Structure 1
């Protein structure tokens, strides 16, 4: 993939524009698992230096959409993606595009912290090493990434220890350090706090707000309070059951500024979900 050369007028200190200046977009995105239509016609735009939250009940396709953005669904043999996923106007599913290169630009943090069975240092250094990324000093780069994940002060004296030696919240921050080590443009987070206690969750949320100054962040969360606290824009999904099979197809209901979604949604289904009437 080509390095992005687009300049964006929006910075986090400015008022959020009505429409995002897109780093990524989906156009008529449809996802199938075999004959099952999992996601139907999703159009979204993800803005530079913004946090976008994808919310909705279980089975509505929000994690499926997230995994499409860096081609993680390629790893599911039955998965088929139709439509477009654009990164700086380049279709990441074009035949000439290397999915490994896609994942270097679009990193991912999973629901359950998954450090590699390596030292703290080697967890962070792994991505740059396997991608052949050139850094002046790996030691300096590892320190920079651990500082970026607000973890350096806690681990600087035990970099040779296993990543498994850290607490759950520290492991998740290590995974964030690993994700930013390849200097991505976009960070995807799939329910990054669902397995964490409130203190660790608050630390990750604070970190998201700091990282927004450098990255575009897209999160899936079941926690509506979390979406309200950290995101700039929110996309609400629901699921439509098939009357014959009972299979549920994910639909995008509404996408807007988070303040609008939570205070003045335009669709009654959004209002019902936000108010707890269903979901």
Structure 2
């Protein structure tokens, strides 16, 4: 994205000039590159509550998502992780009765503010879902779909498709069958194709909702390596139940839990703590985080 063009009005972004790294950085490199200071936020939740009708699904979340960092959201089921993730690009708009209070700021602009185009929000802040969901089209047309429907000014669609598939570490596996159905790919390949489809429109941020939960360990490792490769080009936010995965790939981690109303039994998600991943897993500040990580609850 052109760093001078951060408004959420419909526009065509130029591809960044720098290329993604070709090898995954080590965990040590990850820890060295991230400071203990608060991250420079691309996205930031400020006092965010999310409601579905009269039910408060998650409350009072203030959380920055750092530029060119991977942030993992962890916690037990029903604690609001995916709800917060969907609020970051207005996917909750598609749910009847959903309401987001507070602010979700993208480069300082509230994405829920008046006049903001939710379609443009979702172009700048892309989403990869839990289960691979390629379109019933060819591999080529899956990647080209976004640039076509958004009217991107592309010199050569063939070049864009190749560049994007290379960035998603899929080109060498599919270059001879681009016109074949995406359904013929393995689950891991389909998920990488969905990542390619997301990055084809040059977003700033990629949201991932448990992207490896339906994959085998080998495919999961490849997706994790890909996320680390993509980090130098994009800001990534991932929801995961796999704490080892968070420990392996995330720069910072946010731990959520749920408060239970004793009368109604309703569970409301709350953010417990947010810090460097090494701090969260080795020396958490809150006993609830330690209990979850060590398996004493959740």
Q: TM-score, normalised by structure 2?
A: 0.90
Aligned position for 2:122: 103
1:38-82 deviation line (CA, Å, top 9, x unaligned): 001000001111000000000000000000000000000110100
Aligned to 2:91: 72
Structure-to-structure mapping, 1:101-250, within 5 angstroms: 101-250=120-269
What does residue 269 of structure 1 align with? 288
Q: Following the alignment from structure 1 to structure 2, what is the Cα–Cα distance between the partners of residues 91 and 115?
A: 31
Q: C-alpha displacement at 1:19, in angstroms?
A: 1.1
Q: What displacement does 1:99 show?
A: 0.4
Secondary structure, aligned partner of 1:58: coil
Contact between 2:31 and 2:251, CA under 8 Å: does it hold in 1? Answer: no
Distance 2:31 2:296 in 1: 36
Shift of 1:4: 2.8
Query: Which residue, out of 33, 48, 58, partners 1:15?
Result: 33
Find the aligned partners of 1:101 and 1:13 in 2 and give their Cα distance: 33
Alignment of 1:49-88 (within 5 A): 49-88=68-107
Q: Is the 8 A contact 2:51 2:100 kept in 1?
A: yes
Please provide the CA RMSD for this pair.
1.5
Alpha-carbon shift at residue 242 of structure 1 (Å): 1.1
Q: Which residue of 1 aligns with 2:5?
A: 3
What is the DSSP-based 3-state SS (H/G/I as helix, E as strand, rest coil) of the residue aligned with 1:238?
A: strand
CA–CA distance in 2 between the matches of 1:4 and 1:209? 24
> Number of residues paired by the alignment?
274
Structure 2 partner of 1:29: 48
Native 8 Å contact 2:132 2:194 kept in 1: yes
Decide whether the 8 Å contact of 1:189 with 1:217 is kept in 2.
yes
Structure 1 unpaired stretches of 5+? 6-10
Q: Which runs of 4+ in 1 moved over 2 A?
A: 2-5, 11-15
- The residue number in structure 1 matching 2:65 is 46
Tell whether the 8 Å contact from 1:12 to 1:49 is kept in structure 2 after alignment.
Answer: no
**TM-score (norm: length of structure 1):** 0.96
- Post-superposition CA distance 1:224-244 (Å, at most 9, x none): 000000000000000001122
* Structure 1 equivalent of residue 16 of structure 2: none
CA distance in 1, matches of 2:68, 2:273: 21
